Amino acid sequence: MRVTVCFHSWFKDMAGCSRAEETLPPGSTVDTLVARVLVRFPKLADAQRSMLVAVGLEYRGRDCALSDGDEVSIFPPVQGG
Amino acid sequence: MKRHLTITMEPIDEASLLAGRSVSSAAGAVVCFLGMVRGTESGKAITALEYEAFERMVEHQIGLLFDVMGKRWPVESVRLVHRVGLVPVGQPSLWVEVVAPHRAEAFAACQWLIDELKRVAPIWKKPMGAGGR
């Protein structure tokens, strides 16, 4: 299955792009995707403990199962207000 | 509960927002909060904050907060404006108005909404100027 990864805030700078496509095996989770992303964008490795993940518009944990066509956003802690 | 959310690149126009206020005869409290950009960030002088938002998710997440707020407190209306882009020191980045029958619930709901917004709304800020990046 194919998913789109979107980077926000300074994660975008660390990745060097705002979007990337990943092809994952069926049954993959957010954890599978994050591991793949960290290999492809190693500068993000130092930030992984503070990394937040949303699938679509909802926050999701690392065990969340992904589906073909999902848009997964990866970003640092939020700072609104 | 009436609800209105605006994410804007434009300066927050308080006069226009106040002119658009609607309060029924059942409401006895209007709490209004203005979040301003301070001149320092982590102890260093800055000239502005640059806000970035994942707007679709901000709208969704704040919508969920409005849902919870309407269930927890008898709020008549809520309006929230968050400015994004470059916001100079001394200008507001956030404006929140909560209208309710009594002050206790208006204050509590407003405080809760701002706390939760800071926790879940995907918005980021980058300090600009000597103490920034």
Percent of chain B, pLDDT > 70?
98
Q: Is A57's Cβ below 8 Å from some Cβ in B?
A: yes
Query: What ipTM was assigned to the predicted interfaces of this complex?
Result: 0.95
Q: Is A75's Cβ below 8 Å from some Cβ in B?
A: yes
Give this prediction's pTM: 0.95
With CA atoms as reference, report the closest residue to A47 among A4, A10, A6. A10
With CA atoms as reference, report the closest residue to B122 among A64, A51, A63. A51
What tokens were used for A72?
């997964």
Q: What pLDDT, in 10s, does the model give residues B8-22? A: 999 999 999 999 999
Residue A68 has what DSSP assignment?
T
Probe site for chain A from B6, B38, B42, B57 (most A CB atoms < 10 A): B57
**Does the pLDDT value for residue B132 go beyond 70?**
no
Chain-centre distance of CA B118, in angstroms?
10
Mean pLDDT of B114-133: 90
- A59/B120 touch (CB, cutoff 8 Å), yes or no: yes
What is the structure's pLDDT at B130?
72
**Which member of B56, B94, B118 has the closest CB to residue A57?**
B56
Q: Mapping DSSP to helix (H, G, I), strand (E, B) and coil, where does residue A40 land?
A: helix
Q: What pLDDT, in 10s, does the model give residues B31-62? A: 999 999 999 998 999 999 999 999 999 999 99
User: Distance (Å, rounded) from C-alpha B102 to C-alpha B73?
Assistant: 10
Delimit the domains of chain B by residue range. 2-18+27-128
Q: What pLDDT, in 10s, does the model give residues A3-47? A: 999 999 999 999 999 999 999 999 999 999 999 999 999 999 999
Cα atoms in the Cβ-side hemisphere of radius 13 Å centred on B61: 26
Confidence class for position B131, pLDDT limits 50, 70, 90: low
**Which member of A10, A73, A81 has the closest CB to residue B54?**
A73
Separation in Å, CA B41 to CA A8, A77, B44, B128, B130: 21, 17, 5, 9, 10
CATH number of this structure's domain B2-18+27-128: 3.90.1170.40
Strands (E), B23-113: 29-36, 40-41, 44-45, 48-53, 77-83, 85-88, 92-100
